[in-house]
Amino acid sequence: MKIDRVTLTHVRIPLTEPFRISSGEIRDKDATLVGVSSEGLTGYGEASPMAGTFYSSDTPESVWELLVNTLVPAIIRGKPDSIEAVNAVLEQFAGSPFARAGIETAFWDLAGQQAAKPIFELLGGKNRSLDSGLAVGIYPDISSLLAAICRHMAEGYKRIKIKIEPGWDLKPLKAVRKEFAEVPLMVDANGAYSKKDVDYLTGLDAFDLMMIEQPFPRNELQWHAELQSRIKTPVCLDEGAENAASIQRALSMNACRIVNIKIQRVGGLQKAKQMHDLCADAGIPVWGGTMPELGVGGVQTLHLASLGNFRFPTDVESSRRWFVDDIIDPVLEVKNGTLRIPEGTGNCHRVKNETIQKYKVVEALFKGSE
């Protein structure tokens, strides 16, 4: 796996509508596309934090700095000859899992192309139709929320996820449950509640929810365990499921019954698969979350979700659901509520260089070592 060059391209693509959760609002999608070229082939990964501190302390700027100044030079010096060797190099450095995911997943795409296999086959998955779920943010009022859900449900999404926070929970839930009584429904708090809200959150049992995702901050596993002991609705960890060790702690405390696995949050596909396998062994179902990423990161989540213990609809949606444009061909398109990976190798989608250049913010090129 001789590295000829590595290309980093920061792109910024406008969203089709503002996206608001309990920690903030964004109007554009920033991502760094990582291209690793070897002997005529190029594998692509995506490092995809949101602007500001929307989901985490990582930002597009901090991820770019880590990639440019530390991780890419280390990878070139290290001359890794396998996915395991790539991860061994990356493990030497602290810092952003987003940056590490961008590099690591590019090597998965490259390895798939070299072996003439899709990534899901390298992971041990099976290509199948994958249910897609609609996720909507926080809106100014109930009517706007319902209008957005109605507009997007025309694609047949297999479940609805709404974001909640203190002051925006029971009213939107009542309205959505009344309007979409037969559609599976879940909520995501992104850690917005505190211990004093445990009693209040037990009231969510009344809505027959699939799950309550990350009600408390990521480090407060005891609060999650207390809520789970008092509620029939499954508690799902997202931000709190950072790695295999955090999942083991959560399971030992009975802090959740479902885990959301995000490639970006955990630092790549190898770690994501390890977490999937750990949960499978423990009888805990998982599902594939998104940040949301652009097309490269989105389709890599579909490859991951081909593994057997992914039992709930993924957060990967149609490209046009979030972005005015996307960087892959074909773009992601939900049909009758499902997505399917096309025939091909590696990611199974090519990148659109003209689109990348159109939305480019900055680019950096690194030559491989001799």
Amino acid at 119: I
* Domain ranges for the chain: 5-116+350-367, 122-339
| pLDDT of the residue at 54 | 57
Note down pLDDT in tens along the chain; length 370 residues: 799 999 999 999 999 988 877 667 888 999 999 999 999 999 999 999 987 655 667 899 999 999 999 999 999 999 999 999 999 999 999 888 999 999 999 999 999 999 999 999 999 999 999 999 999 999 999 999 999 999 999 999 999 999 999 999 999 999 999 999 999 999 999 999 999 999 999 999 999 999 999 999 999 999 999 999 999 999 999 999 999 999 999 999 999 999 999 999 999 999 999 999 999 999 999 999 998 999 999 999 999 999 999 999 999 999 999 999 999 999 999 999 999 999 999 999 999 999 999 999 999 999 987 6
| pLDDT of the residue at 53 | 59
The domain made up of 122-339 is a member of CATH 3.20.20.120: yes
The domain made up of 5-116+350-367 is a member of CATH 3.20.20.10: no
**Cα separation of 218 and 290, whole Å?**
17
The two domains 5-116+350-367 and 122-339 share their CATH topology (first three levels equal):
no
CA-to-CA dists, residue 328 to 46, 319, 331, angstroms: 12, 9, 5
Query: For residues 294 and 265, is the Cβ–Cβ distance under 8 A?
Result: no
Comparing CA positions, the residue from 43, 34, 37 lying closest to residue 113 is 43
Strand positions, DSSP E, the chain: 5-21, 24-38, 41-47, 130-131, 134-136, 160-163, 185-188, 212-213, 235-237, 258-261, 286-288, 328-329, 338-339, 350-351, 360-367
Contacts for 304 with CB less than 8 Å, ≥ 6 apart? 120, 123, 125, 261, 263, 269, 272, 273, 276, 288, 310
Residue 30's DSSP bridge partners are: 12
Catalytic residue numbers read 163, 262
Measured on CA atoms in the order 268, 271, 276, 279, is the torsion positive or negative?
negative
Comparing CA positions, the residue from 9, 8, 15 lying closest to residue 325 is 15
pTM exceeds 0.75 for this model: yes
DSSP state, residue 69: I
